Chains A and B, each alone.
Chain A
Amino acid sequence: MKSYFLLIILISLFMNGSLRAAEPVWFGDENAPRILTINSALDLASFEPILKEFAALHPSIRVSYRDVNTLDLYYLVIAEQAAPVPSLVISSAMDLHLKLVNDGYAQTYQSDVTDQLANNFKWRNQLFAFSLEPIVMLVNKNAFPGDLPEDRQSLLQTIRQHGKYMRKRIGTYDIRQSGVGYLLASQDARQADATWGRLLEAFGSHDIQTYCCTHEIIDDVADGKLVLGYNLLGSYASQRARDDDRLKMILPKDYTLMLMRAALIPKGAPNARDAGIFLDFLLSDKAQAMMQNQGLLFPIRPNFNNDDDHYVVHAPGPTGIIELDQQLLVGRDYAKQQRFIHNWEVALEINDEPIQANVEDVVKEDNQIMKIE
C-alpha cells in the first residue's frame, strides 16, 4: 500500500517538476568495470575536483554523480528501499539523513578511517559527516542600505529603518521545498525563539522572497535584486564572495549555526564496497586538505595550521553546532513540522499551494498525500 502511494506521489512530483532528477554526470574511465552511483545535494562546483581525484586514484571505478534536492533525496531513498539505485547518498539536510538512519534505511559501514572520525560526527556507523560549515548571511555591499549587519538584531534594525527599501529584497529558503531550509529555520527557532519570531514577523511584513536553492538566492544577491540572503550555506557563499567583490559573507555575531554534510549507504545499495571506499576517501587527509586548500568545502577535520585560511571558521560569536543525534528527530516530528510550516506560512503570508508540506505526509499520512495532490 505504502509503496503504491509513494509511487503516486513520486509521479505527481515529477509532473510538478519538483523532483529535479538531473542527468547524472560521469567521472572516470568509460570502460571501468565498477560503477559507483552517488546521489547528492552538493553543488558539482564544490565537489568536482574531489570526484575527479577519486576517479584518478581508482581507475577501475566509474562515478555517476547526480545532483538532487535534499528533500527529494529523502523521498528517493524511501521510494527505492526495495532496490536502491545510488550506492551513496550525500545531503546537507542532516535531520532527514538522521531520520533515514533511525528508521532503518541505511547500512552499517566501518573502516579504520571511520573509526578515527570523532563520535559526534557519525551516528551508529551508518551516518558520517565529512564537512562542517557555517550558516551565513550574504549581503550585496553596494545595494545594502546603511551599515552591514553584524547579527540578527542589526539586520532587524536595518529592516525597520529601511522598511520600504527592504521590501522583497531579502531572500531565504522555502522551508517547504528545501530540506536544509527547514532544518535551518527549525534550528533558528530552537536557538533563539524570540529572535526567530521577530525575524519571521519582519520577513513576513517585508515580503521575503523564498527560493528552493542556494544558488538562485546568491545569484539574485549578486545582481542586486536582493540585498541580503539569509541562512545560506557557508561553502557556497564564501566561494562566490571570494570571486565577486559585490558580495560579503557575514557570520552572525549573536550565534552562528554550524551544519554538517553527511553521507549514508542505503540498505541494500548496489556496490556498497565502493561506496565505502569513496567514504574513506572523503574522510581521508587528502580529500579533507583538498576541501580546505582549494576552497571547496569546510572540512570536518580542518588543518588549523593555516590560520588565515578562509575555510577554517572564525565565528565572531558563539557557534551553534547542529548536533548529529536523536534530537534532530524532534524537528521532523509530524505534528511539530505541520505547526512550524503553518506558522511560517501564516507569518510570511504565503497562501500558494505548497508543493510538499511535510515529510511525514508522504510516508505516513495517506490522507495528506491526497491533500497534496
Chain B
Amino acid sequence: MWQKSPNHQNLSEEEERNALRKAPSLRFRFILAGVLVIGVIAGVAVNLVFDYSQKLADLSYDRLLRSALLQMDENVGLIGNEVSIDIPWSAFATLAQADEDRVFYKVESVEQGFITGYRDLNSEPPKKPVLDEIQFYNREYSGEMVRFAWVERHLTDPETAQTVRIILGQTRLSREEMASSVTQRAIEIVLLIALVAITLIVIGSHLVLRPLHRIERALEERAMGDLTPIDINTPKETHHLKVAINHFMVRLQRNLEQLENYTADAAHQLRTPLASLRALAENARDNITTGEISSEPISSDILSSNSVSSKKHHQDLENIVIQCDTLSQTITLLLNQAVVSHRLQTHHLESVNLLEPIRASCREQAVTALHQGILLSLDCELQSAFVLGDSFSIQQMMQNLIENAVRYSGSDREHASEIIVQVNEFDHFYRIKVIDYGDGIPDIEKERVFERFYRGRYDIAGSGVGLAMVKDIVDHHSARILILDNEPQGTTFQVDFAKFKTDEASA
C-alpha cells in the first residue's frame, strides 16, 4: 500500500549525526562560494594596489625629479663657446624632499664631452633619444637601483651649436617607502572590506536559511498526529515547500483515516458473522443435547451408535464455539492495539495515577482468571502513584501482561494457580511486577517474546501480538521492562515507570 523506508526507525542518534555530518550543507556551500569570490577579488585588488602604489610613488617623485632636471636645464648656458652649467641650490632642495635618497647627475655635451657631475654615469637612455623629451628609467648605479631622468637639447648661439645632455638620478628609497605605505594602507582596507563582506555573507546565509529552520522547527514541535497545515509566515521562496508539505500531510491524513475506517470496518465486519457463527454452533450443540433426551426410547444399539456420533458432534460444536470466542478475543485485541497505537500517536502523555488502570485491569481479569482456577491478587500499599502516561494504554498493557500470565500458568499444577500483581515505590520510579508460577520462559525465548506474532507455545491459544503491544507501550512511556525467573518456576514481568515529579503530582 505504501512505500516505506526499510528501517527508518533504526537510525541511532550517532548514525544520524554521522549522516548529518556527511550531508552537504547549503550554508557551507553558500559561504564557501562567497569567500572564494571575495578572496579572488581581494587578491586581484591587492595586486592592482601593488602595481598602482608603485606607479603612484614613481609619479609623485618623478615630478620632483623632473622639476629638479628642468631647473638644472634652465641654468645651462653658453659662455663663449663653452657649455657651462650653474646648478641652482633649489634644484637639489627639491630632491632633498626625498630625504634619504642619494643623488647622481651628469651633464655632458656631444661636442665638449663631460661637463660636470659623475663621470662614470652611463648617459645612454634606454629608449631612442628625442630632443627636449624627458625620459624616466630605472638603472643600477653605485650599488643601488636609481631612478633617472634624462633630457637632451640643443644650445644654439650665433657662433656655435651644441647638444647638451643632462642625466639626473635619485635612489628609490622614498619611492619604495611611499609605495609600501600606500600598499599597506590599501591592503588593510581591502582586508577590512573582505572581512566585512564575509561576515555579511555568514549573517546573510543564516537569514536566508532561517525560514527553512522555522518550517523545520514547526514540524518538529508538532504534537504527534497533528496533521493540520503549517500556517507560519514564510517568504516567497519557501512558500512552495510549505505548500508541498501541507499537501503531503493532507494525503497522509487521508491515508490514515482510510486505515482507521478500514480497521474498524474489518473488526465490525468480522464480528457480526463471527457472532452468528457462534450462535449457530451453540444452537446446533444445544439441539444435539435435547435430541438425545427426546430420543430416549430409540433402541439402544442405534442409540448407542447415535449417542457416540452425537457426542462427537457435540464436542466438535463445542470446539467451534471456543474457537469463535478466541477469535473474538483476538479481534478485540487487534482493535485495542489499533486504538492504543492511535492514542500513543495522537494523545499527549499526562499525569496519571498508575494504580487506577492497574486496579481496573485486575478487576476485569480476576473473574476470567478464576474461571481457570487461578487466583489473581493485587499487592499494593500505595495510595497513589503518579507517572507521566496514558491511562488507557497502561491499562491495556496490564491487561495483556495479566492475560499472558493467566494463559501460561497452566491449570494442571497446584502451585501455579496464583498470579500476583505488585506495585512498589522506589526513589525515582514505581516498579510493577506481574508474577506467575507457570512453566516460565526459557532464556533463549526471552529476547523474542516481544516480537510481533512470536508465540512461545502453539499448544496454548494466543495471538502473538499482546506482548509486542506491551513493549510498544513501555517504549512509548520510556519505561523499562525485564523478564525475570521465579523460584522454583514461573516468570515475573517487571516494569519500571519513572515518577512524575511536579508539585501537583506530589500534592
Contact = CB atoms under 8 A, between A and B. Distances in A.
Given A326-B95, A333-B117, A364-B119, A124 B89 contact: no
A339 B102 CA distance: 24
A335 B91 contact: no
B5 to A, nearest CB: 75
Contacts of A335: 84-87, 107, 115-116
Given A102-B102, A326-B96, A327-B96, A333 B89 contact: no
B100 A339 contact: no
Interface in A324-370: 325-327, 329-330, 333-336, 339, 360, 364-365
Contacts of A160: none
A330 B87 contact: yes
A157 interface: no
Contacts, number: 57
A329 B142 contact: no
Contacts of A330: 87-89, 91-92
Interface string B419-461: 0000000000000000000000000000000000000000000
Contacts of B91: 330
A184 to B, nearest CB: 15
Interface in B169-205: none
A339 B84 CA distance: 10
B248 interface: no
A336 B91 CA distance: 14
Nearest to A364: B119
Contacts of A124: 100, 102
In which size bucket is the chain A interface? 20 to 34
A109 interface: no
B93 A333 contact: no
A119 B92 contact: no
Given A119-B99, A335-B85, A339-B84, 20 more contacts: A103-B102, A103-B142, A104-B143, A104-B144, A123-B99, A190-B89, A325-B99, A326-B92, A326-B95, A326-B103, A327-B92, A327-B93, A330-B88, A330-B91, A330-B92, A333-B87, A333-B117, A335-B87, A335-B107, A335-B116
B351 to A, nearest CB: 80
Contacts of B87: 330, 333, 335-336
A335 B91 CA distance: 15
A335 B108 CA distance: 11
Contacts of A119: 99
Nearest to A120: B99
Interface of B: 84-89, 91-93, 95-96, 99-104, 107, 115-119, 142-144
Contact of A123 (B92, B95, B100): B100
Interface in A97-143: 101-104, 119, 123-124
Nearest to A104: B142
B35 to A, nearest CB: 42
B386 to A, nearest CB: 81
Nearest to A187: B89
14 contacts: A102-B102, A102-B104, A103-B142, A104-B144, A124-B100, A327-B93, A330-B92, A334-B117, A335-B86, A335-B87, A335-B116, A336-B86, A336-B116, A364-B118
A190 B90 CA distance: 11
A321 B68 CA distance: 22
Contacts of A360: 116
Interface in A262-308: none
A46 to B, nearest CB: 30
Contacts of A190: 89
Contacts of B92: 326-327, 329-330
B242 to A, nearest CB: 70
B112 to A, nearest CB: 12
Contacts of B115: 335
A339 B86 contact: yes
A57 to B, nearest CB: 32
Closest 3 CB pairs of A and B: A335-B116, A325-B96, A334-B116
A327 B100 contact: no
Contacts of A326: 92, 95-96, 101-103
A333 B116 contact: yes
A146 to B, nearest CB: 35
A339 B83 CA distance: 13
Contacts of A327: 89, 92-93, 96
A190 B86 CA distance: 12
A310 to B, nearest CB: 32
B93 to A, nearest CB: 5
Interface in A165-221: 190
A259 to B, nearest CB: 17
Contacts of B119: 364-365
B64 to A, nearest CB: 11
A190 B93 CA distance: 13
Nearest to A123: B100
B352 to A, nearest CB: 85
Contacts of A104: 102, 142-144
Contacts of A329: 92, 103
A330 B71 CA distance: 13
A123 B100 CA distance: 6
A104 B92 CA distance: 18
A326 B86 CA distance: 16
A129 B236 CA distance: 77
Contacts of A365: 119
B33 to A, nearest CB: 49
Contacts of B93: 327
Contacts of A333: 87, 116-117
A70 to B, nearest CB: 21
Contacts of A325: 96, 99
B177 to A, nearest CB: 13
A23 B88 CA distance: 41
B116 A102 contact: no
A241 to B, nearest CB: 32
A368 to B, nearest CB: 11
B146 to A, nearest CB: 11
Interface string A146-172: 000000000000000000000000000
B171 to A, nearest CB: 9
A104 B88 CA distance: 23
B103 A102 contact: yes
Nearest to B170: A326
A334 to B, nearest CB: 4
B495 to A, nearest CB: 84
A323 B103 CA distance: 16
Contacts of A336: 86-87, 116
A333 B305 CA distance: 158
A100 to B, nearest CB: 11
B176 to A, nearest CB: 14
Nearest to A267: B143
Contacts of B107: 335
Contacts of B86: 335-336, 339
A330 B85 CA distance: 11
A34 B222 CA distance: 91
